[in-house]
Structure 1
């Protein structure tokens, strides 16, 4: 993986450092220290295939790594441990999700901060399961920045998919989730009804404008104030196709990573309860000039600067 983590070399002194100079490739979870950022790639698209989406997301993790490599290091104690990719070669999505969940729980119990590059949005259930395995008695809050609720009930004979994660989580007890960027033209009435049935809170894409920031902050804080730990997941299809063309389901009326977005996004990242973050649905097969992968890497890098 050394050929992926590379960038402009300006010098060995810390003031010159870029992300690639602070990455350590690891396979031993005992090396994790408190507040280390710990990365897993989720090179999986079996859930996208089951959900009848456009394939290609399994190739995303290494391309996101490549686009992250050259960012400057802002905080002096920044460390990123890379534990490589989890793959699903045999179609057994459930086993793959359990594998990632076990790895995530090890990270969190060591005090690390979990970072996952997807891959399809079936990563949500796996990542959440990892957090819940580490902290079974604590209340976990989930913020989903996404055009879709991803709360479909699994089809008979198909099983879990990239669109069922929040339905699966809701079957295990009370769900504490806030879905930001939901599109009315991307979710059936059944999916809205399911969200209401399980108490999944949401903010429509139409509500994401600058003059409404105080209300957005309030709704984010309402969720985070009532939980012990928080997990944030970003589906790249929430963004407009002009800035995120490389996704499984392009959104031509999606949101932009503008000042409004960055204000509430950084507000979430600054919350000390946040311990897990992932990005999903980057599809290099349909990307243009790595726009989507670059945006995904920029969003992940924001956490390194808090």
Structure 2
């Protein structure tokens, strides 16, 4: 079997920040990066530095820079409330086509999930949801996993080539994801094709728009209730996947994204949903995509994702 360390490139050493103060340790000093660290780790960080899917979807380029820039902020954070062991296995080796990159990505994620790890995947484009979801389906079984797409868009586009707008359409059409276990969360109707909305509605996909989230006293209340019902009706052992596309956050809080919007989740609401993902014992994979550092301001977007990763790590183990 090919080691996942052979399918990835190591993260740059300069990212692993240290203040040189034993009374103020930072994640750059404590997160592992070797095969030995992998064996002991509970959480694995994996980057996918490509934006080919974004280009194919006529989006603005730059998401390929995100894994480096997010790590740059993440490793400056403190170890406060971080109890479990974390390892950063680096970045997926990027191939000459998106399809080949996805094959490599799938093999890495499948192996890590099979090894009992929880994953944080840093895109890149939102197309990574396809290999991530395919790995979830293969490892846990199509009837045993739930997918939550937290995004301003639906990402069920039909296209001749896969792209950042097609991942969940691929998972549904290939019967790797059951519609009744799929949640579209935070979408904005003015960004959604009525034809694609009708497609998910007719399948019975759970739909929680930005307006519906905002109609509740807490932004995670609606999703909590709907997911709770799925767990009760089926099995408390169901594994869960959360895909966070940063386009879902309003541009004043997250200016560096592939498709910014003045409307969206507030930064605090976004973090609350990440903390909810961490609170579920069976959340196996969480991904952050569509961060575009080329258009960021004061590193606000990369810092937001870094804080979200910190909240997930402090709440998931």
The question of 1:8 aligning with 2:19 is answered yes
Is the 1:179–1:203 Cα contact (8 Å) retained in structure 2?
yes
Question: Corresponding residue for 1:61?
Answer: 67
Deviation at 1:89, TM superposition (A): 4.7
Within 5 Å, give how 1:167-206 maps onto structure 2: 167-173=169-175, 174-175=178-179, 176-206=181-211
Question: Corresponding residue for 2:279?
Answer: 270
CA distance in 2, matches of 1:94, 1:29: 30
Deviation at 1:220, TM superposition (A): 3.2
CA distance in 2, matches of 1:296, 1:162: 19
Question: Corresponding residue for 1:219?
Answer: 226
The question of 1:290 aligning with 2:299 is answered yes
Deviation at 1:265, TM superposition (A): 3.6
- Counterpart of 2:31 (choices 23, 29, 46) is 23
Question: Corresponding residue for 2:162?
Answer: 160
- Counterpart of 1:231 (choices 227, 241, 245) is 241
Question: Corresponding residue for 2:288?
Answer: 279
Is the 2:255–2:295 Cα contact (8 Å) retained in structure 1?
yes
Deviation at 1:39, TM superposition (A): 1.1
Deviation at 1:211, TM superposition (A): 2.0
Unmatched 5+ stretches in structure 1: none
Closer, same or farther: CA 30–107 of 1 in aligned 2, 3 Å = farther
Is the 1:102–1:133 Cα contact (8 Å) retained in structure 2?
no
TM-score, structure 1 as length reference: 0.90
The question of 1:304 aligning with 2:313 is answered yes
CA distance in 1, matches of 2:108, 2:148: 21
Secondary structure of the structure 2 residue equivalent to 1:208: helix
Is the 1:59–1:283 Cα contact (8 Å) retained in structure 2?
yes
After TM superposition, the runs of 4+ consecutive aligned structure 1 residues lying more than 3 A away are: 28-31, 74-77, 212-216, 223-227, 260-265
Deviation at 1:272, TM superposition (A): 0.5
Deviation at 1:30, TM superposition (A): 9.2
Question: Corresponding residue for 1:131?
Answer: 136
